Amino acid sequence: MSDITVKINSQECKAQEGEYILNVARANGIFIPAICYLTRCSPTLACRICLVEADGKQVYACNAKVKNGMNIETVTENILKERRAIMEVYDVNHPLQCGVCDQSGSCELQNYTLELGVDSQTYSIADTVRESKNWSSVLHYDAGLCIVCERCVTVCKDMIGDSAIKTTARGGEALDKSYKDTMPKDAYAMWNKLQKSVIAPSNGTEQTNCSDCGECVAVCPVGALVSRDFVYTTNAWELNRIPATCAHCSSGCHIYYETKPTSISNREEKIYRVTNEWNYMSLCGAGRFGYDFENTNVSKDEKAFALAIEAFKKAQTIRFNATITNEEALMLQTLKEKLGVKLVNDEVRAFQKFLNAYSDASGKSLYGSDFKELMNSDFIISVGSILRKDNPNARYVFNNVQKMNKGAGLYFHPIGDTVIPTFGKSVETFNHKVGLEEAVCYLILDLFAPKDKLSDEVKDYIESFKDGDTNGLVELLGKDSAKFKASFDKMMGKKSSFGLMVGEDFFYHEKSENLAKLIALIEEVTPLNIAFIPPKSNALGVSLICELDDEATGYTIGYNENGDFKLSALGDGNLDIPALNQQEGTLTNMNKKVVPTNSALEYNGYELNDIMKALFDVPRLAIDWTAYLPVDKGFMSHEFDSLPNHYTNAGVELRGYSLVKFTREANEIKVDRFDEKAILEGDIVCRANPQRQFSDFTDKAHQINEAFGLYVSDAKSKSIGTSKAEISFGDERLILDVMVDDRMEGDIVALPDFQSKHNVYGLFGTSRYKIVTIKGV
């Protein structure tokens, strides 16, 4: 990758070797029409409208790479002819229903039709009946409007990884032969393909049965794919777009809340949908559809407020979770410093310990890489994370590496998943026994560490597993070592950058300290770039800002958690507080960025800062705290209002700022051996949420309907045999509905933690897995 210069329409443009012409043009503010191309996905050449002339030859800007000194013309007479013909073709039989269409006003078909001045039609063909269908609980597909640009198919395959939709036969008439000679060439080719296809679920049924992320809806240039809840409820231009940050998981995705008054009689703003910059950032179903978790109808309840002040004065513990802004976390930390309360956070504590252990061992305050960088690697490894459920964007990264960088991947997790192996041909999955996470690390060391960099002790330990050609570590983790060796050698071919993502299993682990050291060692001696997946929303921010305690004692205040006095944004507490879509502030995401979020909805009640004001002399607004976030932990003293929150045309993310990373001299990393006796055997339950559920807030949203229950694989549900099961953790037992997750494999069952009322963290303690007894009832 080196800097080169090209000329586009005689304008000098800097570019990187290997970039597509289209992206260079966009970064330099030069317009080239393009419909089917998605940044970060592979070009499909469905629309062909991006034709340009490069050094005298017609090429497609979205898949032709720039070369040094190239001369590019974006408009020639022939190109204009092609483009006009392409737009005419798109308009053939397109229903004249912009008047009711949801995309009208932001429709790329409208825009390009106008841009190219299409005011008459030359072509025609008999139309085919194309019906609209509901593909899932959120997807509404109107085949009549579809222009078969395949953007939905592409994003679902290259980014999301579900590959849940594909093109299928339309059953339309064949094009009239005479067009072949009379039409511009590319327009004909594009029409020929268009006329043959529509989009349908790729499993051959009427239902996609997919992750319901809604990313296909976001990328659709026309009104063909719309979310079922949104269809015909409002026009795009009536909506206010509020740039914000999604509050549900540690990805901290950039989103826009789109609001308008609720109804004619109720003029209060309501969120109608969430949109995103889909060229640069992909959302999951929770972010896109789980937006209505606001705390409604709140007014200033002075009595409750007075009680809250009393409660804070006598509190000994504050229990909270990770769905909280950095500013609120700082306020709680201030309470700890001034009043000596304990801060208890089950969602973050284990992660904080892991991070500290890692820092102690490595001398680095934060993990070295981030998911942006991992996305550019060509070999990616995931350990300790149920990728599909824990963090959607980590999973998109894993998938995107396979699809876009001709990458390879290793996936280590006790729970089998049918989706991961479909990400690419070079993905190897290890469904190892619970308790062998350290063995995973040793295998990674064995595979990637140059032998001279390892201490003799570690080297000998790793060697002790080998017996001739058999690698005992591979066998221990459940694979045939000869077979694995062969495929691993193939996977390593032509690979140059390597990434490792570390998930929640490692934090909630009896041996988490040793695991942290092993990860630090891997980072030091192997070429792997490492990033952690913080367990919940703002876990990273909280772990940096707050000094957390292990145990709650005495009178406890619950901040969105259970307690003797409960402050709740869910409306079920003693005092109401605003939810994250009613609040300004910053969040720290897994890319180690401090990103701002804005309030989309009105809130008239009290917030934490009001309590702070009543107790101490503190700033007037919650966002005044932003500049005081702890600098020694990597935060910067920037005012909230100075933080940007958008992407540029070149795809540069201008959101907040990056945490500063500190390094100091570290001693040699000493790691412990693992103990095979730690393997869990028997009926095992794992603490894991269904996709799209993260917390009480996602659960509150009306479009997120994954229920609280015991999630099991198909096979396991057959062996349980009933629709309800009793699961007992020693004395505690729960009776839950058995839910089949047909993408899960194996016998381990998953118990969600998104409803705080069940106190699931209490059942699991410091680990993520437990041996339980499960019986059908």
Strand partners, 528: 498
Task: Check binding of 634 to ligand SF4 (CB under 6 A).
Answer: no
When asked if residue 200 is in the footprint of ligand SF4 (CB under 6 A), the reply is no
- Between 388 and 511, whose beta carbon lies closer to ligand SF4? 388
Residue of closest CB approach to ligand SF4: 101
The yes or no reply on residue 60 touching ligand FES (CB under 6 A) is: yes
CB of 109 to ligand SF4, least distance (A): 4
Interface with ligand SF4 (CB under 6 A), residue from 15, 38, 52, 152: 152
Residue 148 binding target from ligand FES, another protein, ligand SF4, none, CB below 5 to 8 Å by type: ligand SF4
What is the smallest separation between the CB atom of 38 and ligand FES, expressed in angstroms? 9
Site for ligand SF4 in 128-147 (CB under 6 A): 139, 145-147
- Phi, psi dihedral angles at 334 (to 5 degrees): -60, -40
Residue 233 contact partner, candidates ligand FES, another protein, ligand SF4, none, CB within 5 to 8 A by sort of partner:
another protein
Q: Is 110 in the site for ligand SF4 (CB under 6 A)?
A: yes
In the bound state with ligand FES, the residue whose beta carbon lies nearer, of 35 and 361, is 35
**Contact present, 162 and 210 (Cβ < 8 Å):** yes
Binding of residue 153 to ligand FES (CB under 6 A): no
**Which amino acid type is present at position 450?**
P
45 makes contact, choosing from ligand SF4, ligand FES, another protein, none, with CB < 5 to 8 Å by partner type, with ligand FES
Minimum CB distance to ligand SF4, residue 722 (Å): 30
CB of 35 to ligand FES, least distance (A): 5
**Nearer CB in complex with ligand FES: 21/595:** 21
List Cβ neighbours of 223 (8 Å cut-off, separation of 6 or more).
101, 102, 103, 104, 107, 142, 145
Joined together, the tokens standing for residue 76 give: 């020639």
**Burial of 510: CB neighbours in 10 Å, binned 0-12, 13-18, 19+:** middle
Cβ–Cβ under 8 Å, residues 575 and 298: no
Closest distance of CB 140 from ligand FES, Å? 24
- Strands annotated E in 503-652: 528-532, 556-559, 565-568, 575-576, 585-588, 593-597, 645-647
CA-closest candidate to residue 47, choices 176, 191, 157, 175: 191
The owner of tokens 């000094």 is 547
Sequence-ordered list of residues with C-beta below 8 angstroms from that of 51, at least 6 positions apart, any chain? 58, 59, 60, 61, 79, 82, 83, 186
Selection from another protein, ligand SF4, ligand FES, none that 160 binds (CB < 5 to 8 A by kind) is ligand SF4
Distance in Å, CB of 145 to ligand SF4, minimum: 5
| Residue 103 binds: one of ligand SF4, ligand FES, another protein, none (C-beta under 5 to 8 A by kind) | ligand SF4
d(CA 767, CA 685): 11
Among 35, 109, 366, 575, binds ligand FES (CB under 6 A): 35
Termini Cα distance of the chain: 61
Q: Does 2 bind another protein (CB under 8 A)?
A: no
- Chain-centroid distance, C-alpha 174: 42
Of 590, 528, 532, 533, whose CA–CA distance to 379 is shortest?
528
Strand partners, 54: 57, 72
With CB under 8 A as the rule, give the number of residues binding another protein: 25
Instruction: Could you list the beta-strand ranges (E) of 262-406.
Output: 269-275, 317-320, 342-344, 379-383
Distance between CA atoms of residues 751 and 743, nearest Å: 16
Q: In what order do the strands lie in the sheet with 11-16?
A: 11-16, 3-8, 71-73, 51-54, 57-60
Q: How far is CA 540 from CA 152, 536, 589, 592, in A?
A: 33, 8, 7, 8
Name residue 33's amino acid: P
| Token duo for residue 527 | 């070429």
The sign one gets for the Cα dihedral 576, 580, 586, 591 is positive
Is 554 exposed, middle or buried, given 0-12, 13-18 or 19+ CB atoms closer than 10 A?
A: exposed
Which residue has the CB atom at the shortest distance from ligand FES?
Answer: 62
Minimum distance, C-beta of residue 63 to ligand FES, in the bound complex (Å): 7
Alpha-carbon gap, residue 187 to 82, rounded angstroms: 6
- Phi/psi of residue 72, nearest 5 degrees: -120, 130
The minimum distance between CB 512 and ligand SF4, in angstroms, equals 33
Interface pick for another protein out of 1, 169, 174, 264 (rule CB under 8 A): 264
Binding partner at 62 among another protein, ligand SF4, ligand FES, none, C-beta below 5 to 8 Å by kind? ligand FES
Please say which residue, 32 or 525, places its beta carbon nearer to ligand FES. 32
Count of residues in the chain: 777
What is the smallest separation between the CB atom of 264 and another protein, expressed in angstroms? Answer: 5
State the Cα–Cα distance between residues 82 and 60, nearest whole angstrom. Answer: 12
The contact mask relative to another protein for 109-128 (x = CB under 8 A, - = no) is: ----------xxxxxxxxx-
Q: Quick check: 470 binds another protein (CB under 8 A)?
A: no
Q: Give the shortest CB-46-to-ligand FES separation in angstroms.
A: 6
In the block, residue with structure tokens 């593909």: 135
Q: Which residues of 119-138 are buried (b: 16+ CB within 10 A; e: fewer)?
A: eeeebebeeeebeeeebbbb
Residues of span 204-263 touching ligand FES by CB under 6 A: none
Site membership for ligand SF4, residue 208 (CB under 6 A): yes
Residues in region 36-55 near ligand FES by CB under 6 A: 36-37, 43, 45-50
Question: Residue from 85, 220, 530, 688 that binds ligand SF4 (CB under 6 A)?
Answer: 220
| CA–CA separation, 67 and 435 (whole Å) | 51
Residues binding ligand SF4: number (CB under 6 A): 41
**Neighbouring-strand partners of residue 248:** none
Best CA proximity match to 659, nearest among 744, 603, 728, 587: 587
178 binds another protein (CB under 8 A): no
Question: Can residue 100 be called a binding residue for another protein (CB under 8 A)?
Answer: yes
Q: Record the tokens describing residue 555, joined without a space.
A: 């009178």
Cβ atoms 91, 113 nearer than 8 A: yes
Only one of the segments 226-234, 390-398, 504-512, 754-762 lies at the binding site for another protein (rule: CB under 8 A); that segment is 226-234
Among 62, 533, 569, 685, binds ligand FES (CB under 6 A): 62
Contacting range for ligand SF4; rule: CB under 6 A; set: 106-114, 309-317, 491-499, 590-598: 106-114
- Considering only residues 123 to 152 of the shown chain, the ones binding another protein according to CB under 8 A are 123-127, 132
Q: Is residue 387 involved in binding ligand SF4 (CB under 6 A)?
A: no
In degrees and rounded to multiples of 5, residue 208 shows phi and psi of: -75, -30
Instruction: Among 11, 71, 233, 663, indicate the residue that binds another protein (CB under 8 A).
Output: 233
Query: Would you say 46 or 374 has its CB closer to ligand FES?
Result: 46
Q: Which does 235 bind (CB under 5 to 8 A by kind): ligand FES, another protein, ligand SF4, none?
A: another protein
Nearer to ligand SF4, 404 or 614 (CB): 404
What would the two tokens of residue 716 be? Answer: 């396991």
Contact flag: residue 418 with another protein (CB under 8 A): no
Residue 131 or 302 having the CB closest to another protein:
131
Among 101, 247, 361, 491, binds ligand SF4 (CB under 6 A): 101
Q: Which is nearer to ligand FES, 60 or 729 (CB)?
A: 60
For binding to ligand SF4 (CB under 6 A), which residues are involved? 94-95, 97-98, 101, 103-104, 107, 109-110, 139, 145-152, 155-156, 160, 162, 164-165, 199, 208, 210-216, 219-225
For binding to ligand FES (CB under 6 A), which residues are involved? 34-37, 43, 45-50, 60, 62
For binding to another protein (CB under 8 A), which residues are involved? 98-100, 104, 119-127, 132, 173, 231-235, 237-238, 261, 263-264
